[in-house]
Structure 1
Amino acid sequence: MSGDDDVPGAGLCVANIVITIPCFVAAGTEVATLSLVSTLRAVGHGVTVCCYGHYDPAMKERVGTCGGQWHSIDAEHEGRISRWQAIRGMWRLFREVRPDCVHVQFVSPATIALGARLMAGVPMGVLNVHTAGAAGYGLKNRLLFRLTAGLATQVVFVSENARRFWMGAQSRPNAHVIHNSVDTERFCDGANRLDRLAERARHGIPADAAVVGIVGRLVEMKGHRDLFAAVKSLQGSHPNVRVMVVGEGPDRARFEAFATELDLAGRVIWTGLVAPEDLTRVYPLFDVLAMPSRWEGFGLAAAEAMAAGVPVVGCRVSGLEEVVEDGVSGLLAPVGDVASLASALGRLLDDRALARQMGAAGQARVERLYGRPVIEAKWQAFYAGLGLG
């Protein structure tokens, strides 16, 4: 069998489910995948995560921690295999494992996994859609979605706005919305237990600093440049403001150069990549989480920050409009509007009582709508409804 780890055979569990994903690094969809593995294992399903591109070995190990099995089509985990190599590798995996269902993450490369599942005779295919509202997503992308959705027996969106973006007013019995989940208890406990001043000092943050955090891959669509420009405009009124940048990505060097160009180099703390389980020690360091993304299917970082009691300033895009209740659990600005972003940040940095009020409201909202028990029950009911319960 191809791949670098053994995969369980059929007949050893309630149902065999293979989750396919084109890359597996420390990012939102991958964290949601780990949560799904735990959820399905909790009711006795056998779960294999099949990656057919680049992956982080540390994230691979977390699949095992969640009770799942791991299979890589690309043994070198560099993401250099061709589309046909991926299809052939998956076909072989499906023929050997004989899964009852293939659960596919991401839209664009999903035709690979869904095509392989049809070739291998796997009865069910679930397309899990994690993105929405992306700039430049025009007719070509919508046609690709229709093709991909047509190869699946069920389609699950991570937000209602994502469903609307891809389907418009259409209604299909096989289309569902199941949000990403947040372990609210873990994030809340992390905030309560952390020695905030000591942890800030460890990162070189002055005790009197106002900290604006941003969590996510260092790529243009996350809006780091807009945040830096907004903070630059706040320097006069908020001389103690700092920006804590959590994450890694291909655009880091460009962002560092931009921060230097704005004379912000001494005000920006770059943490590098932080493991998902260690984020409980990061969010409580923020006074505000900034999420000026160009698009978000859901907005997991916003939900995690809210679970830690941190108010959010984001942009009015797809998933964020659903997660953050504007004026209640955070503030939303128009996409790319640096002045509005700066105004929203300044408002929460100036009014700490309002920030605490929004933080508490966000915490309650996430627990009610996106808490792990709530979303686990929805996924388990979904799979039971497919006859795999």
Structure 2
Amino acid sequence: MKVLHAAETIKGGVATVMRQIALANVASAEVEDIHCLVPENQKSEINGLSPDNVITFKRTGRNIASFFSFLRVFIVSIRQYKPDIIHLHSTFAGVLGRIALMILYPIYRPKVIYCPHAFSFLMEGNKLKKSLYKNIERLLLPITDAVICVSEFERNAAIENGLKEEKLHVVYNGVPVVDTNKIFPNPYQEDVVNLLFVGRFDYQKGFDILSAMIEKLKGKPFHLTIVGGAVHGEDIYPDLPQTTYTGWLSSDKIAPYFSHADVLIVPSRWEGFAMVSLEAMSYGVPVVSSNCTSFPEMIFPGKNGYMFDLSSPASLTEIVENKSKEGWALMGINARTIFMEKFISERMIEGTLNIYKKSLN
């Protein structure tokens, strides 16, 4: 089979998923040809893939010029490589790509796999926008052979919003297994509970909830390390007590922070299937998250972490305060075990490939 992956932007978890699946496609005897269409300024996000397998388009932002650039290269790539499978990643590629395929339908009909990486109608927002997103998804479903949902929560929500159940398939995200015997230098203080946050400084990621938490822990034996940056890349770092900012880090440079953290904090208001939680668990780090969207499918309270109720964000501080370094370490053992059982990348890759094969049959 020939596979074309396409995304309008791949920053964050989308890049992690696409890279792993694409590399597996390259290595698979069942995949004859594979290409990834990504923004020119983001191609480093899928490092490890041969340049021969990467197609780029010019993207300057989420604007009309960039959308037309994506569409032009997308259509040219279809005509050149004639893929059997087109795997569209995230909402904008899902909309643009499927509109183009509707136009091409009379002359070319590949199988279309779409993964929204969290439907837009699941995000917080006004009812009009959510209704618009829902109707767009329903309108484009007939040209879609399979929709990959990253959680049971997402699949159930899609069904409730009128998407056909038989087209919805759950494949949990996964990340590679790390060697926990590898020794990294400890970047933290050793006499405090080290809290880690990885992500954007925005409302979705609950940065305000995180800030309130560390303010309440002021003067107590806790330290927060924040890996990430502001929404639009500005070098603005709020003045928070007992907090260290690292900026964005590559996977190699972030490894010591995962390896030595006591607990990862994920106070998101909505997510698809948070990759950062899986990465932490792969290192044997427990997770404290909100109880939104898919977190109940990966966090098992008292085993590999805890969840706080978003309607009571102050309870996050109570959860963090009531556990010692030794207690977190014991939960970290469970976190690694649960990760190995449910969330290794091989499971995600196998599930995705099975959907490809079923759609072709």
With normalisation by structure 2, the TM-score equals 0.88
Matches within 5 A, 1:259-278: 260=239, 263-264=240-241, 267-278=242-253
Provide structure 1 residue ranges, at least 5 long, that are not aligned to the other structure.
1-14
Return the match for 1:371 from 344, 356, 361.
344
| Change over 3 Å in CA distance of 1:211–1:353 after alignment to 2 | closer
Partner SS, residue 229 of structure 2: coil
Match of 2:227 in 1: 246
Match of 1:11 in 2: none
Would you say 1:166 and 2:158 are equivalent positions? yes
Q: Is the 8 A contact 1:225 1:255 kept in 2?
A: no
Say which is worse superposed, 247-256 or 126-135, in terms of deviation: 247-256
Match of 1:331 in 2: 306
Partner SS, residue 322 of structure 2: helix
Would you say 1:78 and 2:60 are equivalent positions? yes
| Change over 3 Å in CA distance of 1:251–1:223 after alignment to 2 | farther
Alpha-carbon distance in 2 for matches of 1:64, 1:324: 36
Alpha-carbon distance in 2 for matches of 1:321, 1:371: 18
Alpha-carbon distance in 1 for matches of 2:341, 2:28: 22
- Percent identity over the alignment is 19
Would you say 1:194 and 2:218 are equivalent positions? no
- Displacement of 1:325 in angstroms is 1.3
Match of 1:287 in 2: 262
Q: Is the 8 A contact 2:230 2:236 kept in 1?
A: no
Q: Deviations over 1:11-59 (max 9, x none)?
A: xxxx11111111133x1111111111122222132221112x4733422
Would you say 1:112 and 2:96 are equivalent positions? yes
Q: Deviations over 1:125-145 (max 9, x none)?
A: 111121153111621221122
Match of 1:6 in 2: none
Match of 2:109 in 1: 122
Provide structure 2 residue ranges, at least 5 long, that are not aligned to the other structure.
none
Q: Is the 8 A contact 2:229 2:235 kept in 1?
A: no
Q: Is the 8 A contact 2:6 2:87 kept in 1?
A: yes
With normalisation by structure 1, the TM-score equals 0.82
Q: Is the 8 A contact 1:101 1:122 kept in 2?
A: no
Partner SS, residue 317 of structure 1: coil
Alpha-carbon distance in 2 for matches of 1:255, 1:211: 22
- Displacement of 1:383 in angstroms is 1.9
Q: Is the 8 A contact 2:303 2:334 kept in 1?
A: yes
Match of 2:80 in 1: 96
- Displacement of 1:368 in angstroms is 0.7
Q: Is the 8 A contact 1:98 1:122 kept in 2?
A: no
Aligned partner letter, 2:133? N
Aligned partner letter, 2:158? W
Partner SS, residue 71 of structure 1: strand
Partner SS, residue 282 of structure 1: helix
Match of 1:21 in 2: 7
Q: Is the 8 A contact 1:312 1:329 kept in 2?
A: yes
Say which is worse superposed, 216-225 or 93-102, in terms of deviation: 216-225
Alpha-carbon distance in 1 for matches of 2:358, 2:252: 31
Indicate the RMSD between aligned Cα atoms, in angstroms.
2.4
Matches within 5 A, 1:292-311: 292-311=267-286
Q: Deviations over 1:198-240 (max 9, x none)?
A: 431xxxx43313211011233321112211211111224x2x3
Q: Is the 8 A contact 1:22 1:54 kept in 2?
A: no
Return the match for 1:175 from 161, 165, 168.
168
Matches within 5 A, 1:59-74: 59-64=45-50, 69-74=53-58
| Change over 3 Å in CA distance of 1:138–1:375 after alignment to 2 | same
